[in-house]
Structure 1
Amino acid sequence: MVVGLLRCPQSGVHCLSSHLYRITSAQNPIYSSVKGLAYRRKPSQSFSTSAKCLSEALERTRNIGIIAHIDAGKTTTTERMLFYSGFTRRIGDVDEGSTVTDFLPAERARGITIQSAAITFHWPPGEVDGGLTAHDQTLPRSAVPHTVNLIDTPGHADFTFEVMRSLRILDGAVCILDGVAGVEAQTEQVWHQASTYQIPRIIYINKLDRDGAAFGRTVREVSSRLNVYPAVCQIPWFENGNESFIGIADAVHLQALRWHAGEDGRTPKMVSLSQLDAQEQPLAQELRRARIALVELLSEYDEFIVEKFFDCNEDHLAVSPADITESLRRCVLEPTCRVVPIFAGASFRNMGVQPLLDAVVNFLPSPPEAPDPEVSIDGVKGGLRGLLSGDLIVQQSEKASAASKGKSSKKQKSGSPLDAKDAMSKLHSCALAFKVVNDAKRGVLVYVRVYSGSLDRNSLLFNTNLHVSERAPRLLKMYANDAVEVDSIPAGHIGVVVGLKHARTGDTLVSYAGNKATPPEPLNTLQLRPIDVPPPVFFTSVEPHSLSEEKRMQDALALLLREDPSLHVTVDEESGQTLLSGMGELHLEIARDRLINDLRAKASMGRIEIGYRETVLGASSTVTKIFDKEIAGRRGKAGCTALVEPFDTEDASHVASEDTILAETNDGNRIIIQAPGLQVDYSSRDGGKTSPFLPPGLDLAGFRTAFQNGALAALARGPNFTFPMHKTQVTLTLDPAEHLFSNETTTSALSAAARQATAAALRDVVSNAGTVMMEPVMNVVISVDEASLGSVVHDISSSRGGHIVSLDEDVPLSATDTSPAPGTARNEDSLSPIDPTRVYAPLDPFETPSVGVEVPMSRAQPRTISAKVPLKEMVGYLKHLRSLTAGRGTFVMSVDRFETMSAQRQKAVLAELRGGF
């Protein structure tokens, strides 16, 4: 084996490889030698027009994200990746505010990541083209330049939605753990979120240079709290066994890397196993144990490695690094396999980042290897590959044909599979707008992930969510806040479209052959991985400084909503105030900073309030309302009957009768629409969605949407306390003979009638059974040290009215933020737990006996408190927690449910709210 240090001639940056030694010359072509096999690469040859080479370039592409708890070192690790890849010439520092990916003023001021940043670089440094010969298939992946599209995500719990919208377009992820704190609460949350999209992951244990770092304990926590089998690929190298962290030992290649303190980390010293035997005998023995444990673990999940093990006469050390690497890759890419590679380092000290980059290239998937993303087309769900092959279109056509079976033969002809496949063949590109950013210089930037075809400049994009078409005048390849203009963005890559006026976060964009404005059915209903936005629990008032500034403020708020769909803007009908709602205190603070400082809106924001709810205590009587008014110069007339009653969200079963048109749960409320005697005609072209009783031009879908929107509008404002309704069931009934009035009945009139009937039924409840306020109760997970445990538990249970659920147990956060898309994620809760005592983990320095007494491990790790606390008591809790724990405590929380308030507590809250205004 040839061991060497690579140096890229273009950037002068050193990168590591255990297989390849590259000899460079300014005049000669580049030659490489791998196990006696040489190849030649022509640096000037272009392969941009070759479909085969485009496919090879796509295979050498990695779309990855960095996920972790806040302050685990995500941005610091990203900065080192950019430096070693040659993208930057200096290392940015989070404390100095000089990082590339944290470029917003609010990020640099607070030292945290708020907005996920996309950046592209190459590893190893060099150009990714098709100019490699067939012999290059024998090279390790980490020896061939790859394009890495990296996304640095936030770690704070308030920006969970920012993490979610970035995760769904990733092919792989690097989960960074703090070697001192171990697996923290927010780490568990983002880990489960990544599991909903079946994203392959590797783990990097950071900050091993700090006092109290415990690699072995963190590995055991990975098995117990994340419920996966850690495959320890690297172990830390502490000088003399228990002194400072100086490097890592690689269990795959049976060698060690040592970095020198104070240097930039480009040139670590490679040490072979035989040299370790002479210099660091305990580390060499531990490295052998790590290799044996790694081969044994892989043998349980990969038959190929078992064969290699027997070919090597059952010698764990004789199995080649290439075989172990391929086995690890198969395990990582297999969705049902629970093996996750573990790596070690200290990014701030410039240790361990280059091997981590090699691991990204070696183990994480390329776009063709990534899990098939879920798509939905006209209500039929499936995989993207099934869509591109035409199978999903055929399923949709068969479903439509089944709905009209026995009816008109004309319907069956219009939805034939041959026509559907022909329409599919003309699909030019399909992309997902996963993020919208307002840039002061370039305008609105729409970040897209292209899933099929090629998104070209000036192509006409159809938005399947908004049903509008827009041209893409400019395309960019983003490097954090810098950009390079390109002519097209190929499939599997991430880019930016400049100049779109309507696209929002989560919209699906498609282009069709011939630059047609609207694709044919059913392609105009295509949806790529929609996100369920959790309900906001904090709100604040926003007021313009003058009436002349109101339009500017509304435009700025509209931009904020395009960027961040987890923000909501509503207008209070009584006071006329504009209310901005968000996921947390910090979330709203950042929104205020963006609104006033970045978007230059002349407005002021009130204090942060809590979003309460209102619910009914009993059923109303049946109320009928007839709407009869002129709307926009046209007379509208329609009727509706409404019945309101309590709704148990835990028992959401509803036996649908033949008259039930809709039974749907929305934000904790249930809406049932019934239309006795409304005969459905299945011979129509759209698959049975009309009725002879409906007025001309009004189909069943339009009627259903109108009634549903009317009920939702009434439920948005409670009859007694003006808070949105919760746990309320509304049954709307349409009598065609009494509630429909020929051409005078429009969708607007139906919606208004449903709203008036629902509001009247709610007022009827107030006069009879009454309503009561509900408050959000949070799932709170607090991490503290042993000394502060008692005071924090006492504060939660006595002063804040909460109750402790558990101590040091893995209680998952609410599924509000981690609910998977249907059919896309395996149920991790159903998997059998892993015994940490059976997992290999090297001994930590603090685990060695001192004066004959071993330090208990529980004293070294933080204690975890799981509790349920009313949200009102958690406002401003972070400052209080830090004062109780001397700055060491952290917590994350998510909405658990809304609970009914006692009369005494409701009276106190109302008095405070009225006094506040």
Structure 2
Amino acid sequence: MGSWLFWMVQQVPGVEAQTLTVWRQADRYNLPRIVYVNKMDRSDSNIHMCCASVEKKFDVPSVLLQLPHVENGKFVGVVDVLSLELIQYGNGRTKDAIRINLSEKSYPKLFEEAQKARVKLIEQLSDCNDQLANQVINSGSFDSISSVEVVKTLQKMVKERNVIPIVLGSSYKNIGIQSLMDAVILYLPSPNDRSKLFSSFEDHFCGRAFKVKHDKRRGGPLTFVRLYNGTVKKGQKIFNITRRESDQIGRIYVAYADDFREVDTVENGNIAVLAGLKKTMSGDLLTTSQTAYDKAKKITSKNLNMSHTTADADNLFGISAKIPEPVFFCSIEPPSTASQQALDQALIELQREDPSLRVTYNLETGQTVLAGMGELHLEIIRDRILKEYKIDADLGPLQIAYRETPLVKVEDSLRVDTKIGNVKNSVLVRLSIIPVEDTVISHENILKFDKLPDNASNIASIFPKHMQAIRQGIDVGLNQGPKIGCQIINVHVMLHWLEVGRGTSETIISSTVTQLIRKLLTEAGTCILEPVMSLEVVCPSEHFSAILADLSRRRTSINNITHRGKNKVLFATTPLSELLGYSTDLRTLSSGTASFALEFLEYRKMSSVEEEGAIKNVRGF
């Protein structure tokens, strides 16, 4: 499916700082784009000045496809430079535009301006495109170049991001909107230009869920799906590739802003709103069946001459992309006990809509804890809970999500004998904790088993329900470290021995394992790990020195400095604790012209001095 953006730039003041920030994000994803200059009905409008601003700020050639048409001091239409037509909108009072062929007799001045603009357009394109330049040379005249050839050249150059087409209008007065939509269809990539990657699904439906919205009027969650291939039908069974689960579609809608129109099918290239999906979350990839996905993997592997492995194919289709680790957390409290259940349900729904939001329950404090990507992220969650669920929840102070890791290997055992009612519960468990450096341990690989003959024989006889209880106990035990109560990472837990008395409940087994884990962590001692971020700063050269000096005071390691057009790009690694409030500081240093992007890199050990500061921040003393 074609991916692109159309850009709205206000005629006054032109390209602003925040526009540059979003433009850089589009550059990162190599998206073709078109610029729409709005508010041309203003008396101080100057399209040529705005075009110059686009070229200067974005450092890319622009081509003006339309000219403004003003009658009696009022903006009433646009001139199509390619077709030499005047498009009038009747002051925006009607939806239908009137197209009038310009001629030297009917509109002599406007016709002359349009001809000059058409010649300039072809000149600009031929400077960047050899094929069009050769046609101009062979024909000996700009006038002999057909509009069809110019459109083909524009389509190619826009797709390759070598030029930016500019159209204009007044959204408030409904002037130029129709021609903007025509330009989108004409110049930007269509769904037929979709990646060959998803054509490997052949006739089968394939799409990605990019948004989940809960709508009580329509029976619960609505899943917005972008169709890469095939057709999706009402009542169809689908396979969630990301979660390896089947699901079933109820109704299908097409969204027109807030209006949802029910349909029976939606084809490739469109966005479908699917009702009835119970397991799908934002970011999931969907298809018709497991068989369809397996076949697509084989075709893709063959086309790319790569080994047919699950990991390779999953990477290509974006299945194995991991959700970033949350680096901030805070407690959340309902306004009353009666609101607790409603708050819990709201958080369940919000997690489905936003997989980067994590919700946990602290057994010791009895608090619900939110973890997210930043202060703004968690504030937005709170605002949504208030506006959408009518719950005025309170957020606790924002804290950095530190981690702890054991310093040395420790082995020990614990026996628990207790009587609950008439049932005697008896557990003996022996565990060891083993620190692992410079390796990220997945949740599934934390538990290891002793392979010594006697111990291995004992472990092999453990019932599955008891093994599940052991894993649950380990999870709870590693959830809070002894130093500042943070999650334990970079550790293996080895099971050496387990004895369970007849009738002993799984709850007793889990709690015994948890007690032993905490005992082992206390014996081993822990150190604090802090989240370190990959930082990318894009700024004009005149502000670079000030930004660099500021970063040097934030324990920053500079990895690389490059140029991107007229801007400098700095790549660095910085502890998250040093970047609190950085967006405000950067805006001040650069007068709002710089932007930055953060991505979690790793957890890293702190020095003793830094650790003392972290403990003080967490404990408050």
Partner of 2:124: 293
CA–CA separation in structure 2 for the residues paired with 1:567 and 1:309: 57
Counterpart check, 1:579 vs 2:369: yes
> Structure 1 residue 384: deviation in Å?
3.1
CA–CA separation in structure 2 for the residues paired with 1:721 and 1:756: 17
The verdict on how the C-alpha distance between 1:309 and 1:889 changes in structure 2, with shifts beyond 3 A counting, is closer
Partner of 1:170: none
CA–CA separation in structure 1 for the residues paired with 2:116 and 2:374: 50
CA–CA separation in structure 1 for the residues paired with 2:34 and 2:88: 21
Kept after mapping to 2: 8 A contact 1:644/1:731: yes
> Structure 1 residue 556: deviation in Å?
1.0
> Structure 1 residue 233: deviation in Å?
3.5
What code does the residue aligned with 1:215 have? C
- 3-state SS of 1:500 partner: coil
Of residues 196, 201, 213, the one that matches 1:437 is 213
The verdict on how the C-alpha distance between 1:643 and 1:184 changes in structure 2, with shifts beyond 3 A counting, is same
Counterpart check, 1:560 vs 2:350: yes
1:775-829 per-residue CA deviation (whole Å, 9 max, x = no partner) reads: 555737486998xx6997599469x74769799x767xxxxxxxxxxxxxxxxxx
1:628-655 per-residue CA deviation (whole Å, 9 max, x = no partner) reads: 999xx999998765420432xxxx6xxx
Counterpart check, 1:460 vs 2:276: no
Partner of 1:482: 259
The verdict on how the C-alpha distance between 1:181 and 1:260 changes in structure 2, with shifts beyond 3 A counting, is farther
CA–CA separation in structure 1 for the residues paired with 2:521 and 2:55: 55
Of residues 411, 414, 427, the one that matches 1:623 is 411
- 3-state SS of 2:202 partner: helix
Partner of 1:774: 530
Partner of 1:644: 435
Counterpart check, 1:321 vs 2:144: no
CA–CA separation in structure 2 for the residues paired with 1:881 and 1:485: 47
What code does the residue aligned with 2:263 have? V
> Structure 1 residue 559: deviation in Å?
0.7
The verdict on how the C-alpha distance between 1:731 and 1:882 changes in structure 2, with shifts beyond 3 A counting, is closer
Cα RMSD (Å) of the superposition?
Answer: 5.8
Instruction: Report matched runs for 1:777-796 at 5 Å.
Output: 777=533, 779=535, 781=537, 796=550
1:242-284 per-residue CA deviation (whole Å, 9 max, x = no partner) reads: x999987767x27486889975797588786979995698986
What code does the residue aligned with 1:342 have? P
The verdict on how the C-alpha distance between 1:499 and 1:731 changes in structure 2, with shifts beyond 3 A counting, is closer
Instruction: Report matched runs for 1:605-616 at 5 Å.
Output: 605-607=395-397, 609-616=398-405
What code does the residue aligned with 1:644 have? P
CA–CA separation in structure 2 for the residues paired with 1:519 and 1:636: 46
> Structure 1 residue 611: deviation in Å?
2.2
Of residues 229, 234, 254, the one that matches 2:64 is 234
CA–CA separation in structure 2 for the residues paired with 1:636 and 1:463: 41
Kept after mapping to 2: 8 A contact 1:180/1:214: no
The verdict on how the C-alpha distance between 1:431 and 1:635 changes in structure 2, with shifts beyond 3 A counting, is farther
Partner of 2:162: 339
CA–CA separation in structure 1 for the residues paired with 2:581 and 2:352: 28
Partner of 2:186: 362
Of residues 358, 380, 402, the one that matches 1:590 is 380
The verdict on how the C-alpha distance between 1:783 and 1:257 changes in structure 2, with shifts beyond 3 A counting, is farther
The verdict on how the C-alpha distance between 1:297 and 1:66 changes in structure 2, with shifts beyond 3 A counting, is closer
CA–CA separation in structure 2 for the residues paired with 1:282 and 1:445: 50
The verdict on how the C-alpha distance between 1:355 and 1:915 changes in structure 2, with shifts beyond 3 A counting, is same
1:42-82 per-residue CA deviation (whole Å, 9 max, x = no partner) reads: xxxxxxxxxxxxxxxxxxxx8766477xxx66xx99xxxxx
Counterpart check, 1:385 vs 2:199: yes
What code does the residue aligned with 1:911 have? K
CA–CA separation in structure 2 for the residues paired with 1:330 and 1:889: 31
What code does the residue aligned with 2:236 have? S
> Structure 1 residue 439: deviation in Å?
1.9
Instruction: Report matched runs for 1:637-786 at 5 Å.
Output: 641-647=432-438, 716-725=479-488, 729-731=490-492, 762-766=521-525, 770-777=526-533, 779=535, 781=537
Kept after mapping to 2: 8 A contact 1:456/1:488: yes
Counterpart check, 1:446 vs 2:446: no
Kept after mapping to 2: 8 A contact 1:433/1:506: yes
Kept after mapping to 2: 8 A contact 1:182/1:217: no
CA–CA separation in structure 1 for the residues paired with 2:275 and 2:373: 28
Partner of 1:540: 330
CA–CA separation in structure 1 for the residues paired with 2:396 and 2:4: 36
1:865-913 per-residue CA deviation (whole Å, 9 max, x = no partner) reads: 9887664565556667778889x56754424645655545544453344
CA–CA separation in structure 1 for the residues paired with 2:103 and 2:508: 81
Counterpart check, 1:910 vs 2:587: no
What code does the residue aligned with 2:335 have? H
CA–CA separation in structure 2 for the residues paired with 1:666 and 1:339: 44
CA–CA separation in structure 1 for the residues paired with 2:426 and 2:200: 48
Give me the TM-score of the superposition, normalised by structure 1.
0.50
Kept after mapping to 1: 8 A contact 2:4/2:32: no
Of residues 171, 180, 204, the one that matches 2:35 is 204
> Structure 1 residue 214: deviation in Å?
4.5
CA–CA separation in structure 2 for the residues paired with 1:284 and 1:709: 76
Identity level (%): 22
The verdict on how the C-alpha distance between 1:178 and 1:533 changes in structure 2, with shifts beyond 3 A counting, is farther
- 3-state SS of 1:566 partner: coil
Partner of 2:270: 493
- 3-state SS of 2:195 partner: coil
CA–CA separation in structure 1 for the residues paired with 2:472 and 2:156: 49
Kept after mapping to 2: 8 A contact 1:636/1:748: no
- 3-state SS of 1:184 partner: helix
CA–CA separation in structure 2 for the residues paired with 1:579 and 1:313: 71
CA–CA separation in structure 2 for the residues paired with 1:485 and 1:720: 56
CA–CA separation in structure 2 for the residues paired with 1:629 and 1:189: 60
CA–CA separation in structure 2 for the residues paired with 1:555 and 1:352: 45
Instruction: Report matched runs for 1:293-312 at 5 Å.
Output: 293-299=124-130, 305=132, 308=135, 312=138
CA–CA separation in structure 2 for the residues paired with 1:441 and 1:292: 56
Partner of 2:299: none
CA–CA separation in structure 2 for the residues paired with 1:184 and 1:234: 20
The verdict on how the C-alpha distance between 1:206 and 1:549 changes in structure 2, with shifts beyond 3 A counting, is same
CA–CA separation in structure 1 for the residues paired with 2:75 and 2:472: 61
> Structure 1 residue 533: deviation in Å?
1.9
Kept after mapping to 2: 8 A contact 1:639/1:734: yes
CA–CA separation in structure 2 for the residues paired with 1:729 and 1:183: 41
* Structure 1: 5+ residue stretches without partners: 1-61, 78-176, 224-229, 373-382, 390-426, 513-517, 653-663, 679-692, 812-832, 837-861
The verdict on how the C-alpha distance between 1:280 and 1:309 changes in structure 2, with shifts beyond 3 A counting, is closer
What code does the residue aligned with 2:535 have? N
CA–CA separation in structure 2 for the residues paired with 1:748 and 1:186: 52
CA–CA separation in structure 1 for the residues paired with 2:451 and 2:158: 54
- 3-state SS of 2:235 partner: coil
The verdict on how the C-alpha distance between 1:477 and 1:261 changes in structure 2, with shifts beyond 3 A counting, is closer
The verdict on how the C-alpha distance between 1:723 and 1:750 changes in structure 2, with shifts beyond 3 A counting, is same
Counterpart check, 1:189 vs 2:189: no
Partner of 2:598: 894
> Structure 1 residue 771: deviation in Å?
0.7
What code does the residue aligned with 2:483 have? N
